[in-house]
Amino acid sequence: MAAAARVGQEGHMAPHRPALFLDRDGVINLDKGYVSRVEDFEFIEGAAEAIARFNQRGWYVFVVTNQSGIARNYYTEDDMHALHAWMEARLAEAGARIDRIYHCPFHEEGENPRYRKDSFDRKPKPGMLLRAMADFPVKRESSFLIGDKEADLEAARAAGVAGFLFTGGNLADFAEWTLAGFEDGHRG
C-alpha cells in the first residue's frame, strides 16, 4: 500500500513534496478536552482555509493526534474514526483535504488494557511523523508541524521537522506567517 502512494499514474515515482503536519485538538478544532463527538467539535477559525491553501501549493497535509481518550475508555476508536470522517467531509465542503490522519490511541496509564502501553507514536515521540514520511514521499527539510503543546514541537524535532507553536487565533493567518518565516530560514 505504501508503495502505491508513491507511484504516479504513469508508473513513475511521485516527486517528494513538503508536508504540513497538524495536531488536531487545539489546532484544527478547539481543545475542549477529549473531543470525540460531532456536537463537541468546533473548528478553529481559518483551519479549513489553511489546509486548502497548502493543498493548492501541492503540499501533503497530515494530522498527527494523540488520542489517549481511547486508552482511558472515554470513547472508542470507532467513535474517533466517525468523528474524523465527519471532520474530513466538512473540510472537503470547504475545498480542503487531509492526506492521512495518524492517531495514537495508547497511554501507559490507560484504563483499557488493550491500549495501556507506552507507544513510539505518542507525542512527544516522533512515531506518527516518521510513519507519514515512510508512507509518502515527503521532502522532510521543507516540511513543518503546527501544534499547540510542547510535546508536538518535541515530536517534530525528533522527526527532523521544524515545529511551530500555535497559541490561538486564525490558523490560516498563522500558517501563512509561519510559512513565510520558514522559507526565509527561520526554522522552528
Do 60 and 18 form a contact (C-beta atoms < 8 A)?
Answer: yes
Separation of alpha carbons 172 and 188, rounded Å: 18
Average pLDDT estimate for 158-180: 97
Given the residues 25, 99, 135, 148, the one annotated as active site = 25
Given the residues 23, 99, 148, 152, the one annotated as active site = 23
Domains of the chain as residue ranges with CATH? 25-31+52-139+155-167 (3.40.50.1000)
pLDDT single digits (tens) 115-152: 999 999 999 999 999 999 999 999 999 999 999 999 99
pLDDT single digits (tens) 21-55: 999 999 999 999 999 999 999 999 999 999 999 99
| pLDDT at res. 98 | 98
Reply yes or no on whether the pLDDT at 79 is more than 80.
Answer: yes
Average pLDDT estimate for 99-119: 97
pLDDT tier at 11 (50, 70, 90 boundaries)? very low
Reply yes or no on whether the pLDDT at 8 is more than 70.
Answer: no
What count of Cα atoms within 13 Å lies in the side-chain half-sphere of residue 161?
31
79 is catalytic: no
* Number of neighbouring beta carbons within 10 Å of residue 170: 15
Average pLDDT estimate for 65-89: 98
| pLDDT at res. 6 | 44
Mark 147-168 as b/e (b = at least 16 C-beta within 10 Å): bbbeebbbbbebbebbbbebee
* Portion of the chain with pLDDT greater than 90, in percent: 88
23 is catalytic: yes
* Portion of the chain with pLDDT greater than 70, in percent: 91
Separation of alpha carbons 25 and 131, rounded Å: 20
| pLDDT at res. 9 | 44
| pLDDT at res. 12 | 53
